[in-house]
Structure 1
Amino acid sequence: MSNAPIRIGIGGWTFAPWRGSFYPEKLPQKRELEYASHALTAIEINATYHGTQKPASFANWAATAPDGFVFAVKASRFCTNRKVLAEAEESIAKFVGSGITELGDKLGPILWQFMATKKFDADDFAAFLALLPATHAGVNLRHAVQVRHDSFHVPEFVAMARKAGVAIVHADAAEYPAIADVTGDFVYARLENAVENVATGYDDAALDRWGEAARTWASGGTPDGLPYADPTVPPEKPRETFIFFINGAKVRAPAGAQALIERIK
């Protein structure tokens, strides 16, 4: 059984402290995406969470990145930051139709992130998952949900996500519980516990563990030692694996991502 691709990156590419630490001195800002997309294998676009981007911007980003590079796209907060998720249809349609498919074959998963105060309401969340489209403009769409309240740490939520074919984001974070259950045909992890006094954000031992987890996910297995909400183990099959170094000590994110890329070569 051959392994699926492992894609490792950061959130966004515009961050002043990266200039001189990640980006070479005097690199023009308009070339930062070009540089980042050659140094990494994926980027999570976060600007889409805060505001609508233009279709031409997505097309330009796709043209700038090399073949084989993949962008994950964080969905608009107007879709997820609402009391009744079942009423999100119009906002979801607006976001999906905003030009994300201009990324073409460089479009990776769409990340739907929920507020840490959002509790699990089975009927309402199932209704939200049913609103997520499988395709748009002839492009297949893949979905990942990041929930951050302990009420989601139950087998019912895992089963719901598996039925919908949606990945649950495994977030390594101090502020909220992690759910590592594999529920989709890909894996999406966000490493949010970086510390600034370590050059790579995560120390060597932690990077070794995440490298092993990435290889296990990509080969179709289930890593040991992670928190699972449901004892049911999904069928073994290779799964494309996305790992993003994001939040935490943001200045260290590129170095952490590059160190992990080296470990899985």
Structure 2
Amino acid sequence: MSKAGIIRVGIGGWTFDPWEGTFYPEKLSKKRQLEYASSQLKVIEVNGTYYSSQKPETFAKWASEVPEDFVFSLKASRFTTNRKALAEAAESIEKFLAQGLTELGSHLGPILWQFMPTKKFDLDDFGAFLALLPEKRDGLLLRHVVEVRNPSFRTPEFAALLAKHNVAVVFADHFEYPMIADVTADFVYARLQTGSDDVATCYDEKRLDLWAKRLETWAAGGTVDELEKADPDRKVEKKPRDVFAFFITEGKVNAPAGAKALQAKVDRK
């Protein structure tokens, strides 16, 4: 058995005008941006699936343009998560999963279910929602991760609920959202959101080194003690875990450079 899981560092999306001529080579056509981005990075988080449905042909096209070991993380539909009663989301979940995303095949990474900052923790309702998330689709194993942005989720009951369903929670390095660094699934998912356009690598060298150590700790099956958790006393099985980390939001202009720099640090080990 490997001593550590795979660490993939990426960005949100691949279409962003300021990346043209900076991350992307001069005169590279937009049609080839995914091909290029996937040759430089190991994972991309797709935001477009949050706002609208895609066609099976679209997912198949994406899969055809990327290297064999590249994966996409898909943000689930806002119509599923932005509802009062999550227990009633079955039809919406099915609609999202049925749009053809399994055309990605082995390129399908975690599915991110993102909740509004106003959504508060309700043990029964959230538990009912997690129970609706299937483990497989068309023979493919599915990995689910939730991003909660209300402090009410920082409770041991929430961590236990996620662990029961093998669902990860987003670790958000964010200026406002609560930090929840509990390991609750067989993978870890971090969104690094406090970068700067004034720093060539989005996060400076010291922060990149710090994050490299954290990602390596998670990949080796450990937990990062200095980060705040919903249940710091919960015991976590030490086993290799895949780790996904994304440079998102702040410092977006230099997010690709940050992702490449952090990936290089963890790959040197």
Give me the TM-score of the superposition, normalised by structure 2: 0.97
Q: What is the rounded CA distance, in whole Å, between the counterparts of 1:187 and 1:137 in structure 2?
A: 24
Q: What is the rounded CA distance, in whole Å, between the counterparts of 2:225 and 2:163 in structure 1?
A: 20
Q: What is the rounded CA distance, in whole Å, between the counterparts of 1:143 and 1:220 in structure 2?
A: 18
Which residue does 1:19 correspond to in 2? Answer: 20
Q: One-letter code of the match for 2:102?
A: T
Q: What is the rounded CA distance, in whole Å, between the counterparts of 1:135 and 1:93 in structure 2?
A: 12
C-alpha distance after superposition, 1:94-125 (max 9, x if no partner): 00111110000110110000001100011110
Matches within 5 A, 1:223-234: 223-230=224-231, 231-234=233-236
C-alpha distance after superposition, 1:53-100 (max 9, x if no partner): 111010111110001111111000011001111111111000011111
Which residue does 2:239 correspond to in 1? Answer: 237
Q: What is the rounded CA distance, in whole Å, between the counterparts of 1:137 and 1:235 in structure 2?
A: 29
Q: What is the rounded CA distance, in whole Å, between the counterparts of 2:26 and 2:225 in structure 1?
A: 42
Matched, 1:132 2:121: no
Matches within 5 A, 1:65-80: 65-80=66-81
Q: What is the rounded CA distance, in whole Å, between the counterparts of 1:167 and 1:6 in structure 2?
A: 15
C-alpha distance after superposition, 1:234-258 (max 9, x if no partner): 0100000000111112111101101
Which residue does 1:92 correspond to in 2? Answer: 93
Which residue does 2:253 correspond to in 1? Answer: 251
Q: One-letter code of the match for 1:88?
A: A
Which residue does 2:42 correspond to in 1? Answer: 41
C-alpha distance after superposition, 1:12-45 (max 9, x if no partner): 1011111011001100100000000010010111
The alignment covers a number of residue pairs equal to 265
C-alpha distance after superposition, 1:144-183 (max 9, x if no partner): 0000000000000000000011001101000211100000
CA 1:205 to 1:218, structure 2 compared with 1: closer, same or farther past 3 Å? same
Three-state SS of the structure 2 residue aligned to 1:103 is helix
Which residue does 2:112 correspond to in 1? Answer: 111
CA positional deviation for 1:196? 1.4
The alignment's C-alpha RMSD in Å is 0.8
Three-state SS of the structure 1 residue aligned to 2:38 is helix
Runs of 4+ in 1 over 6 A off after TM superposition: none
Three-state SS of the structure 1 residue aligned to 2:149 is coil
Contact 1:190/1:243, CA 8 A, preserved across alignment: yes
Q: Identity rate of aligned residues, in percent? A: 59
Q: What is the rounded CA distance, in whole Å, between the counterparts of 1:93 and 1:26 in structure 2?
A: 41
Three-state SS of the structure 2 residue aligned to 1:144 is strand
Q: One-letter code of the match for 1:190?
A: R
Q: Which runs of 5+ in 2 are unaligned?
A: none
CA positional deviation for 1:233? 2.8
CA positional deviation for 1:224? 2.7
Q: What is the rounded CA distance, in whole Å, between the counterparts of 1:181 and 1:45 in structure 2?
A: 24
Q: One-letter code of the match for 1:9?
A: G
Q: What is the rounded CA distance, in whole Å, between the counterparts of 1:223 and 1:151 in structure 2?
A: 22
Contact 1:222/1:233, CA 8 A, preserved across alignment: no
Which residue does 1:10 correspond to in 2? Answer: 11
Contact 1:9/1:40, CA 8 A, preserved across alignment: yes
Three-state SS of the structure 2 residue aligned to 1:224 is coil
